[in-house]
Amino acid sequence: MTTASPPPAALGTQPKPAKRAQKRGQKSSWSGWLFIGPFMAVFALVFLAPIAYSIYLSFFRNQLVGGNGFVGLANYAQVLQDSQFWSSLIRVVLFLAVQVPVMLLIAMLVALALDSGRLYGKSFFRISIFLPYAVPAVVASLMWGFMYGTRFGLVGNINEALGTNIPNPLNPDLILASIGNIVTWEFIGYNMLIFYSALSVIPKSLYEAAEIDGASQFRLVTAIKLPAIRGAMVVAAIFSVIGSFQLFNEPAILQSLAPNSISTYFTPNLYAYSLSFSGQQYNYSATVAIVMGIITMVIAYAVQLRGMRKEG
């Protein structure tokens, strides 16, 4: 919507700076600022300022007794030695290593199935698989939380009806898998859509050429479709990595149902939240958030580098 208006405006101003560039370089650069000024102001206010403020906070420590004081890098040193922080990080890494490949694989299979054109009611499938993504994560977690109930929930009903003995999905051993299940359910549709849209822009001529060469459907997938959507796969992988590191909604909601399975430091985000809102350790919480942000950036960048190198 907004993208439609800037180009004409930019075009209109271009001749002027071009002419006067040498004479009055300074003035022309200011007119540029005029256009991006409103954006920069909002950007600085809502994006840069909070980050700067977090960094500022992370150099202080405010105690209930003794007040506020500058502590330099002490908070960072504490994070690096904080076993609760590392255990939460290891937990999301484990989550990432198992849940993301499973989710992307299923999403890929669904996208390929839809793209193959051999399904009846294609749009129905597409919508119904995408639908969970439209359900807010909070609602989804509550819903699954009820279903996981072993007494009055779906699991309880199944156990009663079939005489089976499904263990409680909310006990400490299974909770991570249960959360993985919710997240997978939520995001398959989203990733499927990324893959599907990438698949649908592959030129039909490639398929025709392959058909002339007598390629099988399987060959079509491995030789044309998969290489063509590598970019989309990298994007989906990066989103998923970031999403896993920021895991918060699902454990936060399920915590009230399974308080002993989900500790206050279950994921790094939950840890930062508890530190800040129950512990009033805003400074330490900001430090945790910054360290986590840096780790996420490094890993997302590594995934991107690796994905792109393969492409080239």
Binding site residues, other proteins, CB under 8 A: 50-51, 53-54, 57, 62-68, 137-138, 146, 149-153, 168, 171-172, 246, 248-249, 252-253, 255-261, 263-265, 269, 272-274, 276-282, 285-286, 289
- Closest separation in Å from C-beta 276 to other proteins: 5
> CA triplet 234, 238, 243: central angle to 5 degrees?
145
Least Cβ distance, residue 56 to other proteins (angstroms): 9
Q: Of 245, 247, 250, 237, which is closest to residue 108 (Cα–Cα)?
A: 237
CB closer to other proteins out of 70 and 152: 152
Q: What's the closest the beta carbon of residue 278 comes to other proteins, in angstroms?
A: 4
- What 3-state DSSP class applies to 121? coil
Give the helix ranges, DSSP H, for the chain: 6-13, 15-20, 25-43, 49-57, 74-80, 83-115, 122-134, 137-148, 154-162, 175-200, 204-212, 217-219, 226-228, 230-245, 249-254, 268-277, 282-311
Residue type, 150: T
CB of 135 to other proteins, least distance (A): 14
- Using CA atoms, how far apart are residues 104 and 84, in angstroms rounded to an integer? 29
With respect to other proteins, which residue has the nearer C-beta, 112 or 270? 270
Tokens coding 107: 């999403």
Residues 6+ positions from 10 with CB-CB distance below 8 Å: 35
Q: Which is nearer to other proteins, 182 or 234 (CB)?
A: 182
DSSP 9-50: HHHHHSHHHHHHTTTTHHHHHHHHHHHHHHHHHHHIIIIIHH
Which of residues 37 and 172 has its CB atom nearest to other proteins in the complex? 172
Q: Which of 257, 271, 296 is nearest to 178 (CA)?
A: 257
Nearer to other proteins, 57 or 192 (CB): 57
Minimum separation from the CB atom of position 176 to other proteins (A)? 14
Residue among 191 and 249 whose Cβ is closer to other proteins: 249
Q: Where on the phi/psi map is residue 159: left (φ > 0), alpha (ψ -120 to 50), or beta?
A: alpha
Query: In whole angstroms, how close is the CB of 144 to other proteins at the nearest point?
Result: 13
Least spacing, CB of residue 53 vs other proteins, in Å: 6
CA angle 256/188/250 to nearest 5° reads 10
Which CB sits closer to other proteins, 1 or 65? 65
Rounded least distance, CB 64 to other proteins, Å: 4
Nearest to 112 by CA among 221, 223, 201, 209: 221
200: number of Cβ within 10 Å: 10
- C-beta closer to other proteins: residue 191 or 281: 281
Nearer to other proteins, 61 or 225 (CB): 61
Cβ 257 to other proteins, closest distance in Å?
Answer: 6
